[in-house]
Amino acid sequence: MIKDTISHFREASRAYSDASIFMHEAIARKAGLSSTDHKYLGLILQYESITAGEISKLTGLTTGAVTGLIDRLEKKDLLKRQFIQEDRRKVIIIPNVENSMKLLSPIFDELQKKTLNLISTFSKKEIETIERYFREATMIMKQTADDLNNS
């Protein structure tokens, strides 16, 4: 019985992961971004400001790849570079939240509405369990990425 439950869970998890990738690919295309740029923009938007080095450390991307990412997003006016006066080699990246929301909100608004409708069908306890799974699974995935990036 438990073997079937785990098998069904893995199947559902894999389907969720695949659907998430396909959805974000479609969102990125609709927004005129690559899927990678779309996901990293979402990461950058979580910060008021962030350095290119911090982006590299968070993502595992090389500094050259981060520079290319910043170039592409800056060209679309989704972020800007701010040079530090004391050390012109150090660059702070400041997301343009307003332009990013103009671009992404029309796409995400319907998704968020549907997601809230789904969440409202669960009990508080069920939501807490799902949230716990996501938080702990995220830690496992981050650790796995760190291990792979550092090996």
SS3 50: strand
- Inter-residue contact 44 to 50 (CB < 8 Å): yes
pLDDT tens, position by position, 109-128: 999 999 999 999 999 999 99
Average pLDDT over residues 126-135: 96
- Inter-residue contact 41 to 78 (CB < 8 Å): yes
- Inter-residue contact 74 to 80 (CB < 8 Å): yes
Fold topology of 2-120: Arc Repressor Mutant, subunit A (1.10.10)
User: Does 88 score more than 80 pLDDT?
Assistant: no
Q: Where are the domains of the chain?
A: 2-120
